[in-house]
Structure 1
Amino acid sequence: MRRTALLATLTTAALAAAIAAATPASAINTYNAQPAPERTEVGALLVQWDRDADPATPDVVDWYCSGTMIDRDVFLTAAHCTTDWAPGARFYVSLEQDVEGALAEARAAGLSPEQVAATVGVEGTEHNSPDYPGNSADAHDIAVVTFDTAQAAELDRRYDFTPATLPTAGQLDALGSRTLEAARWEVMGYGTAEAQREPGGHVHPGGGVRMKAELGFNSLNKTWVRLAMNESRGYGGACYGDSGGPNFVTVDGQRVLAATTITGDGPCYATNVVYRLDAPTARDFLADFVDLP
């Protein structure tokens, strides 16, 4: 499965720097990836932005990250996905299964970038954690896109989805490492595949289609969960473009949105480092936008 994350992580020593200077990541690894058409609450973040001297006419639109609907009018993603854009950037969310295909079809029809964005996604307003980028202990790498009444109605008209279930406060700590290790973990997103060795170096193929993959639990700390995505253990994982996307854990038959993809190793071979949603800082941010369990 491909992933949309900061996926710039390399070694433990480099993790702090990678978190502080996160860059959008990719897609779910191919080891055990499967399409996820049933996970309609998982979507892609599209950005319309300007690359010339006229910010009043944003001239580029494409998908860049992943995320999850956590209410009828709130889409959760990562702050590194919604910051550092040119002035006038506009944010859209699409819950299409094949976003790349939908964008290609709209462009082939001769639509303007603004028309492409509105055809493939629904525009909303981004809100980033005011404490982002934080530090290695707590990156505060969390953001939401909210939709007004008309925009939320358009989402409902286009897509049939049930918002994801957020964890309760400290739920992962309460479950404990043994339970988390035995539980089923799944990562989802629109990102690229793990690095393929080509004559010119590594390339990350694919991306733009919602995928899912099972991965394994490694460890838990104050704000992060480290998840294993080793092919030798039968695990997939996230990659570039999966940033902001969901990592679900199933406990007692309930699928809970435990964390969001933020970073990992550069080739997307081994580790997915995800931001806990049951931690106090994440909950403090989200409380302004949704009713928390």
Structure 2
Amino acid sequence: MTAVRATAVTAAACAAVLATAMPSSAINSYNATPAPERTEVGALVATWDNDSDPATPDRVDWVCSGTMIDADTFLTAAHCTTDWPDDVRFYVSLDQDVQAGLDAAAQRYPGDPAAQASAVAVEGTARTHPGYPGPSSDTHDIAVIELPAAKVASRWSFKPATLPSANELGALGPQGLNSTDWLVAGYGTQEALNGPGGQTHPGGGVRMKAPLSFDALNDAWVRLAMTAPQGNGGACYGDSGGPNFAVLGGKRVLVGTTITGDSPCYATNVAYRLDTPGARAFLSPFVKLP
């Protein structure tokens, strides 16, 4: 992405977003812009223990992206909420620049990760798909964070994302999907840079957006092109769980969540479809579906 801080995601955060074969998690620098208007898009923040004393957390970082789908439900990816220490606590922030907020909180509350997380985010409870990880045809890579609605509303104003109706993407077919406007958003890092020590992924922690174009539709996945010559941007490390929007019937609809892609973050974003029976069955206890 452009206009992001040149800081790397921590090793622990990368472990969270790399829990599957090659999960994606960022917005590229090319053809991308800040997204302050996408107030429903947020960052998943975690605190966890990283030493021999599990009594208190000693690490805090933003680790993934996601979207508010009603007043108290934040949608993200299952690989963002699994494979953590038992004492992990999850928070959600809808700030535009979460990294700057965490940096300021570290100065204000040195040595207190819980206070630092609370300074930028609201704590919630993770609900992960019980079938994750499933087969490659449908990994069930979906989770939500349940939040206290009053606390979220007291800190941020937003309109929850619109979810798709059943099989809305499938009903359009390739021709309809090719003519659709697509947009990805998230807090992730930039595409790979080659350096003396190998590839790095700079940036991250700032909400960005980029256009995409349709590539292919599978039973559980929508594949979107991130190729620069076509005017596209795309997702990278830290964008996992973040939204992929399509303009359907004149409305911006949250049709998929970023899950995986190519490791340099140049070519393809693979998003988990939200219009499938499996995704809708998981979401139905948490949100009213169209």
Q: TM-score, normalised by structure 2?
A: 0.92
Separation in 2 of the partners of 1:200 and 1:161? 41
| 2:22/2:262 contact within 8 Å kept | no
Separation in 1 of the partners of 2:135 and 2:19? 6
| 1:55/1:87 contact within 8 Å kept | no
Aligned length: 275
1:182 aligns with 2:204: no
Please state whether the residue corresponding to 1:248 is helix, strand or coil: strand
- The residue correspondences of 1:272-287 to structure 2 (distance < 5 A) are 272-287=269-284
Aligned match of 2:116: 116
Letter aligned with residue 285 of structure 1: F
1:29 and 1:20, CA in 2 relative to 1: closer, same or farther beyond 3 A?
Answer: closer
Q: Which has the larger displacement, 19-28 or 97-106?
A: 19-28
Separation in 2 of the partners of 1:29 and 1:278? 26
Please state whether the residue corresponding to 2:130 is helix, strand or coil: coil
| 1:19/1:263 contact within 8 Å kept | no
Separation in 2 of the partners of 1:25 and 1:256? 21
Aligned match of 2:126: 126
Separation in 2 of the partners of 1:24 and 1:83? 13
Aligned match of 2:14: none
Aligned match of 1:38: 37
Aligned match of 1:69: 68
Aligned match of 2:89: 90
Letter aligned with residue 214 of structure 2: F
| 1:19/1:135 contact within 8 Å kept | no
Give the drift of 1:59.
1.0
Separation in 2 of the partners of 1:235 and 1:108? 38
1:224 aligns with 2:221: yes
1:170 aligns with 2:175: no
| 1:70/1:163 contact within 8 Å kept | yes
Separation in 1 of the partners of 2:116 and 2:21? 28
Give the drift of 1:252.
2.4
Q: 1:213 aligns with which of 179, 190, 210?
A: 210
Please state whether the residue corresponding to 2:65 is helix, strand or coil: strand
| 1:215/1:228 contact within 8 Å kept | yes
Separation in 1 of the partners of 2:149 and 2:132? 27
Give the drift of 1:20.
8.3
1:198 aligns with 2:225: no
1:226 and 1:24, CA in 2 relative to 1: closer, same or farther beyond 3 A?
Answer: closer
Q: 2:286 aligns with which of 280, 286, 289?
A: 289
Q: Which has the larger displacement, 49-58 or 208-217?
A: 49-58
Aligned match of 2:9: none
Deviations 1:232-277 (A, max 9, x none): 2111000000000000000221000000000000000100000000
The RMSD of aligned alpha carbons is: 1.5
Letter aligned with residue 25 of structure 1: S
Letter aligned with residue 260 of structure 2: T
Letter aligned with residue 71 of structure 2: R
Q: TM-score, normalised by structure 1?
A: 0.91
Aligned match of 2:13: none
| 2:223/2:270 contact within 8 Å kept | yes
Which portions of structure 1, spanning 4 or more consecutive aligned residues, are displaced by more than 4 angstroms? none
| 1:26/1:207 contact within 8 Å kept | no
Separation in 2 of the partners of 1:207 and 1:252? 32
1:155 and 1:20, CA in 2 relative to 1: closer, same or farther beyond 3 A?
Answer: closer
1:63 and 1:127, CA in 2 relative to 1: closer, same or farther beyond 3 A?
Answer: same
